[in-house]
Amino acid sequence: MAAGRGCAEERMITIKSQREIELMRASGAIVAQVLDMIGREISEGMTTLRLDNLAEAYIRDNGGIPSFLNYVPKGDPGVTPYPATLCVSINEEVVHGVPSDRRVIQEGDIVSVDCGVFKGGYHGDAARTYMIGDVDSKVRQLVEVTRECLDRGISQAIAGNRLHDISAAVEEHARSFGFSVIQNMVGHGIGTELHEEPPVPNYGRRNTGVKLREGMALAIEPMIAMGKSRNAVSKNGAWVAVTEDGGPCAHFEHTIVVRSEGAEIMTLP
């Protein structure tokens, strides 16, 4: 999700009921199953379109609808609807890589796959970065640290904390390894809409932002780059966004619900 201007007002954030959370679990389970399947199937020589076809078939066979297919950002009707089920972003691509029969996965690539599913009136959303074959050790560290950043952020999603406690945990861990946080792409609230309030940045100061309340549903998604890039930039005006300096970027995401005893992850395998 692209970062918006300003902070969301707390009154615009929806609190999910237990019934709504149960419905979100169902969509989140399909997301997790798709990403597990991708992990088993992805390999050198495969096209990104092949991954997309596998994901769409699985989602529909399990009673879901791809959240991303034909998606148009609210307030931006001039954007071409997103044409695929998955976002498949390779190496320097941060997010929104459009699957293609011309894009072939290569040995040494890192491939970030973002998947959303709509079922029962609610969305689930998650992402993982996969390493293909013999990946450079520094790039491998980037992927591992980005996964850890997600874990650190989720650990702060506790009722009574502040939103930017999540953000600061992500940023602090990434920067401790010399990596950069992509600042103009953020996580988000989620529920009946794919993107709801509040934005969840991957950088910030602790003890700031709205107070986290039991039942808030958030998609937390660190996007961490190896180089000095602070923003993702559009490539030729298309959906895909790449790092400013062409360095590799990793991406992990879970949909979670804020609880008083710690976050409940809705998109676990």
On whether the CB atoms of residues 229 and 180 are closer than 8 A, the answer is: yes
Could you state, in order of their start, the residue ranges of all structural domains in the chain?
A: 12-263
Q: Give the pLDDT confidence of 54-109 residue by residue, as tens digits.
A: 999 999 999 999 999 999 987 676 789 999 999 999 999 999 999 999 999 999 99
Q: Give the pLDDT confidence of 43-68 residue by residue, as tens digits.
A: 999 999 999 999 999 999 999 999 99
User: What's the token pair of residue 76?
Assistant: 């931006």
Residue 2 has pLDDT above 70, yes or no: no
Q: Give the pLDDT confidence of 189-236 residue by residue, as tens digits.
A: 999 999 999 999 999 999 999 999 999 999 999 999 998 889 999 976
User: What pLDDT does residue 5 have?
Assistant: 44
On whether the CB atoms of residues 126 and 222 are closer than 8 A, the answer is: no
Domain 12-263 belongs to what topology? Creatine Amidinohydrolase (3.90.230)
Query: Phi and psi (nearest 5°) for 254?
Result: -135, 150
Q: What percent of the chain has pLDDT over 90?
A: 89
On whether the CB atoms of residues 125 and 115 are closer than 8 A, the answer is: yes
Spell out the residues 6+ positions from residue 231 whose beta carbon is closer than 8 angstroms to its own: 182, 183, 184, 244
